[in-house]
């Protein structure tokens, strides 16, 4: 899918700083790994596959990463922080919590649709890829959990919600997205927004109010406008 590969410097152009090239090289390798893993499954991917995909020398791989696992972890971290960044950026604009969730979910779905291979490095089978994958996943999960937990303050029955509800809601959202990714229909992913909004907001607001938000929300075309 849409991986943004760095253009090669034109002949004679040696002005790019080493750091710039290094950064982009890492990103390129990480992207290549994500694509390979999405295609073949983590276990079957080799460093040879990755370097071929990235169009780099084997040496270059090892200048950047110690192993496939190392590279995978970097991909996972890169993907998670990119996704979270988009969510925070979109949600941060908005005061009203339900619409904040709506905007955050929209941004997340948009990221997944744009970068399905990268998104997959954060999901289900990815958890088993490397021992530290799970720990990293847990940490990232906490950020999403705290976004949802705010809903307890605005919910009429926030005090009575099950302790694990945020975890369950996010797990459910991830699972659905994962299924669509497996079906290789990234275009269907953004269409999930209204039902995911309803699903996640219902425990806090009840079904009617959740439905209103799902119908009214602007999703990806966010920005300013105050919400009703």
Partner 1 sequence: MSEPVNPSVDSPEYPPELARLPPGRHGLPREFVARNQRERLIAGLAEAVAEQGYAGTTIAHITRHAAVSRRTFYEHFSSKDECFVAAYDTVMAELRRRVDEAYNEEDEWPQAVRAGIGAMLEFLTAEPHLARLSMVEALVAGPVVVERYDAAIQGLVPYFEAGRKGRPAEVLAGLSPSTEEALVGGMVSLISRRVFADRTEELESLLPDLTEFALTPYLGSAEAAKVARQA
Binding site for partner 1 (CB under 8 A): 41-44, 124-125, 127-129, 134, 138, 157, 160-165, 167-176, 178-179, 182, 192, 195-196, 198-199, 202-203, 207, 210-211
Q: Degrees (nearest 5) of the Cα angle 54, 57, 63?
A: 95
Select 55 or 171, whichever has its Cβ closest to partner 1: 171
Select 94 or 126, whichever has its Cβ closest to partner 1: 126
Indicate left, alpha or beta for 116 from its phi (over 0: left) and psi (-120 to 50: alpha). alpha
The minimum distance between CB 176 and partner 1, in angstroms, equals 5
Select 9 or 172, whichever has its Cβ closest to partner 1: 172
The minimum distance between CB 4 and partner 1, in angstroms, equals 28
Q: Which of 124, 136, 101 is nearest to 172 (CA)?
A: 124
Q: Which residues contact 125 (CB under 8 A, 6 or more apart)?
A: 41, 42
The minimum distance between CB 53 and partner 1, in angstroms, equals 19
The minimum distance between CB 125 and partner 1, in angstroms, equals 5
Select 94 or 186, whichever has its Cβ closest to partner 1: 186
Select 162 or 228, whichever has its Cβ closest to partner 1: 162
Side-chain half-sphere of 84: how many Cα atoms within 13 Å?
Answer: 17
The minimum distance between CB 199 and partner 1, in angstroms, equals 5
Question: What CA–CA distance (Å, rounded) separates 140 from 164?
Answer: 16
Neighbours of 179 (CB within 10 A): 12
């Amino acid at each position: 899918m849409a991986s943004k590969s760095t253009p090669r410097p034109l002949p004679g152009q040696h002005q790019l700083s080493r750091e710039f090239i290094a950064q982009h090289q890492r990103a390129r390798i990480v992207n290549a790994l994500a694509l390979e893993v999405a295609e073949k499954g983590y276990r079957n991917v080799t460093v040879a596959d990755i370097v071929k995909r990235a169009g780099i020398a084997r040496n270059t791989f090892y200048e950047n990463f110690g192993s496939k696992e190392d590279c995978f972890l970097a991909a996972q971290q890169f993907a998670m922080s990119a996704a979270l960044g988009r969510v925070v950026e979109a949600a941060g604009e908005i005061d009203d919590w339900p619409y904040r969730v709506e905007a955050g979910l929209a941004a997340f779905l948009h990221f997944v649709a744009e970068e399905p291979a990268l998104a997959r490095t954060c999901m289900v089978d990815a958890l088993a890829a490397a021992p530290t994958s799970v720990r990293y996943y847990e940490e990232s999960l906490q950020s999403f959990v705290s976004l949802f937990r705010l809903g307890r303050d605005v919910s009429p029955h926030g005090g009575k919600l099950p302790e694990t509800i945020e975890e369950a809601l996010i797990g459910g959202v991830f699972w659905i997205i994962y299924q669509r990714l497996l079906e290789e229909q990234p275009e269907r992913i953004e269409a999930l927004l209204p039902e995911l909004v309803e699903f996640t907001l219902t425990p806090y607001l009840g079904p009617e109010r959740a439905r209103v938000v799902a119908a009214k929300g602007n999703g990806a075309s966010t920005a300013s406008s105050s919400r009703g």
